[in-house]
Amino acid sequence: MALQGIRVLDLSRVLAGPWATQMLGDLGAEIIKVEKPGSGDDTRHWGPPFDPTSGDAAYFQCANRNKRSLALDFAQPEGAALLRELAGQCDVVVENFKPGSLARYGLAPEQLLAAHPRLVVCSISGFGHSGPLRERAGYDFVVQALGGLMSITGAPDGEPQKVGVAVTDLFTGLHAVVAILAALRHVDATGEGQHIDLALFDCQLAMLANQASQYLSGGPEPRRMGNAHPAIAPYETLACQDGELVLAVGNDSQFARLAALLGARELAGDARFARNADRLAHRAQLREALEQRLRTQPRTHWQVLCDAAGVPATAVQSVAEALEHPQARARDMLEALHPGQDAQAAGTRLAVASPLKLSRTPVRTRSAPPLLGAQGPQLLAEFGVNEARIQRLMASGVLGRPPGLGMDEGGGG
């Protein structure tokens, strides 16, 4: 696999960091998820629903495949010392603690790099390690609001809306993967590690894309437009006889084909609608003219004609419909997690698979999301920690016991 041989010490929790490390794991990296004994990642408890196999929340399941769990209390000096040792045998450390909070454990980025110069340390926080908000906790919802996204999401006459999934977390996770891969390339070339300082706020601003660019180029301040597009028309939901159809007409030739299939070729020759700029200037009149024709037939009728004419269009599907769509099946976007992929699991369930399709180094799900601390003693043994020390760590509570391991049972690798 592409990242085989790369070892990642994952101190992150919730979504942005775990999303990044799951993707690295999908590509073949070894991911060691460090969690607090007893409770673990917050998202293990963000339910219902809870996965009947593991007892963990379904939320946790979406971002933690291809990882092994080490339950380690590094708030205790012996736990912090052990974690510093483990970092020296890893290529990457990913953490999403508030800036400065890891310094008391000797785990701050500058402390880790001083001890291990080849290490790549990726810090993910709400607002980064500089600026007036650096010490504020960052949550996706808050950053969607502060970073402008909610101001352009929702109906024009409605309240600002967040996106239906935590897109700021997810985009930050993707940016983290890109930055980590670039930093690893630099290590290969120079032997020099580095610190990556990623902020949800920064990633949210970058995600504004054309909306930010248009404003910075002298355009009006972006506003909520529902499903309409600020720079393309028609690019929105339009009413048919039995519901709404999404039309995404990206150029003038597509519009001409749309007008033809609607039996209204004259629209493409109308000076108000001939070019995209004209259509934007007369958006309300265009919508009225299109819906007058679309309302004469059901959505399936227009869908067939649009598909044949190469005009992008679709009905709005539910999550269930999207997951069950033949295209999702054809692309292998659902996978079964089998008991054999995790000795601690039982039963089989479906999960969304990685979207990465690499011809030479395909991604592979090697293990289901781990139970809390399931591989702790085994992992420490692989790092060279002797059996006596492992037993002492478990007895003191620094190391969480694997599920099913009694107080008097051993746990060494």
Q: Which residues of 300-325 are buried (b: 16+ CB within 10 A; e: fewer)?
A: eebbebbeeeebebebeeeeeeeeee
At what angle are helices 77-87 and 387-396 packed, to 10 degrees?
A: 140
> What's the token pair of residue 320?
């269930």
How far apart are the C-alpha atoms of 164 and 159, rounded to whole Å?
A: 15
Q: Quick check: is 26 catalytic?
A: no
CA torsion through residues 39, 42, 48, 51, sign: negative
Task: Report CA dihedral (220, 202, 171, 214) to the nearest 10 degrees.
Answer: 20
Residue 93 belongs to what H/E stretch?
strand 92-95
Length of the chain: 413
Q: Which of 51, 73, 169, 342 is catalytic?
A: 169
* 390 neighbors 399 (Cβ within 8 angstroms): yes
How far apart are the C-alpha atoms of 212 and 155, rounded to whole Å?
A: 19
Identify which of 249, 227, 80 has the alpha carbon closest to the alpha carbon of residue 153.
227
> What's the token pair of residue 241?
């006889």
Query: For the chain, give me the number of helices (H) and strands (E)?
Result: 17, 11
50 DSSP assignment: B
Sheet holding 68-71, edge to edge: 68-71, 30-35, 7-10, 92-95, 120-125, 194-199
Strands (E) located in 257-333: 313-315
* 86 neighbors 399 (Cβ within 8 angstroms): no
Please report, as a single letter, which amino acid is at residue 281: A
Phi, psi of 41 (to 5 degrees): -55, 135
* 381 neighbors 390 (Cβ within 8 angstroms): yes
Kindly list the catalytic residues: 169
